[in-house]
Structure 1
Amino acid sequence: MNDNLFQLLNQFAGRYDWFDDLMTFCAQDIVWIMIAILGFLWITGKENNQKTVFYACLTTVVALLVASLIISPMVNHPRPFVDHQVHQLIAHAPDASFPSDHATFAFSLAFSILFAKRKTGVALLALAVITGIARVFVGVHYPADIGGAILLSFIIGFLVHKMRGKLDFIPLFFIRIYGKLVAKVSFLPRSQ
């Protein structure tokens, strides 16, 4: 089933240059849009937004560490282009593919924000889904790699969200530092 779903998406790669370019952008660069959204939330100067951004970053770091240091070495699943002839649109090292780091990054941000800010979270979740589909389309991940990233991101995001109240002293420390820096630069909004 994993191979069949991969072939279903990847078979369309290489047919239209404009669509390949779009999917390549989505596979590699859509995460920058997500980071920009987090940056905007931070510079609003609202403490709740800044704490949400902190927890999104914490979720992402923890999920990526679990993925790269524990899960990926244990599973050691090869990428599609290692085992099969595929339409590979982006260069990638032939390292382990499960779970997808790009998808883990995108879904960790999305779920973390979704737990705190519903509308923004839904928008980020849509971008994460597009990223996941694009990673399969360009030939560097299987659908299960994306599914694993989704599950891991959700679990870590949920656990971090549940611990928010107990960990608030950490983001508040960084928010205070930001506030002191902003006091010296007048064009940035202060934390409220």
Structure 2
Amino acid sequence: MSPLAPVGPAPTPLALDGASVDGSLYTEVTDLARHAPGLLSDPLAAWSTAGLVLLAVLMAAGWWRARSDDAARMAAALSAPLAAAAAFGLNDVIKALVREQRPCQTLHTVTLEACPAPGDWSFPSNHTAIAAAAAVALLLADRRLGAVAVLTALLMGVSRVWVGAHYPHDVAVGLLVGAVTGWAVGRAARRAAPAVRRLRASRLGPWFST
């Protein structure tokens, strides 16, 4: 009589083998990061956190500047944090479907940032998607602030590969997810201009107009 097979769920195969896409490029970047001088490496590593802080400041500045503009521009400015939240939610759904392991887990590389635990999926990059969504929504509201935000989002993507948290394709798709989400939310938000006008006429008026 043959022994019983072990009972338990079969392992779920990864839907995407990131190492076969651009694993060599990822390894080159992380090797460069480890050997780069601190004047270059430290600011890029810090940008993974500092970039999101700057984006929050830019979104607040967009709201403040829109107080003296028309209602549609204010609605677009207010949509930036909503776009960031929507991109985060959509990105998490994609992560759960694709289930790509972090490159530092698959390639066993030494990285600047501590390697996330198995099951903390890599594709696409949440940081990059959030940053891109906020940047594009802000660009629709305020071109000057939006231009700075777009540069911030691009540097965010670079920093996520630099510290070893993501493959380059994780970042590229994160930028795409975020940009599309930010554009869709920002464009739709302009339809909320009548609601902004009502808010401007209410007791909350000083928060939405000068």
Task: Give TM-score scaled by structure 1 length.
Answer: 0.83
Alignment partner of 1:12 is 2:32: yes
Q: 1:46 aligns with which of 51, 68, 75?
A: 68
Letter paired with 1:109: A
Bigger Rg, which one: 2
**C-alpha displacement of 1:47:** 4.8
1:100–1:149 Cα contact (<8 Å) kept: yes
Letter paired with 1:191: S
Q: What percent identity do the matched residue pairs reach?
A: 22
> CA 1:177–1:159 in structure 2 vs 1: closer, same or farther (change >3 Å)?
farther
Letter paired with 1:12: L
> CA 1:92–1:11 in structure 2 vs 1: closer, same or farther (change >3 Å)?
closer
Deviations 1:119-143 (A, max 9, x none): 3222111111111001001000111
Alignment partner of 1:57 is 2:55: no
2:178 and 2:158 map into 1 onto residues whose CA distance is 16
Deviations 1:26-53 (A, max 9, x none): 1222111111122122234335554233
Q: Which moved more, 1:137-146 or 1:50-59?
A: 50-59
2:113–2:163 Cα contact (<8 Å) kept: yes
Counterpart position of 1:32:
53
2:132–2:150 Cα contact (<8 Å) kept: yes
> CA 1:122–1:43 in structure 2 vs 1: closer, same or farther (change >3 Å)?
closer
Q: 1:79 aligns with which of 98, 102, 108?
A: 102
Question: Within 5 Å, which residues of 2 pair with 1:89-100?
Answer: 89-94=112-117, 95-100=120-125
Instruction: Give structure 1 stretches of 5+ with no counterpart.
Output: 183-189
2:167 and 2:55 map into 1 onto residues whose CA distance is 23
Q: Secondary structure at the match of 1:159?
A: helix
> CA 1:104–1:172 in structure 2 vs 1: closer, same or farther (change >3 Å)?
farther
Question: Within 5 Å, which residues of 2 pair with 1:128-167?
Answer: 128-167=153-192
> CA 1:61–1:33 in structure 2 vs 1: closer, same or farther (change >3 Å)?
same
Deviations 1:141-189 (A, max 9, x none): 1111111111111221222233233333555566656536x6xxxxxxx
Aligned length: 183
Q: Which moved more, 1:140-149 or 1:17-26?
A: 17-26
Letter paired with 2:77: V
Counterpart position of 1:187:
none
> CA 1:163–1:41 in structure 2 vs 1: closer, same or farther (change >3 Å)?
closer
Task: Give TM-score scaled by structure 2 length.
Answer: 0.76
2:171 and 2:34 map into 1 onto residues whose CA distance is 21
1:158 and 1:65 map into 2 onto residues whose CA distance is 16
Alignment partner of 1:109 is 2:134: yes
1:8 and 1:118 map into 2 onto residues whose CA distance is 35
> CA 1:46–1:52 in structure 2 vs 1: closer, same or farther (change >3 Å)?
farther
Instruction: Give structure 2 stretches of 5+ with no counterpart.
Output: 1-20
Letter paired with 1:138: V
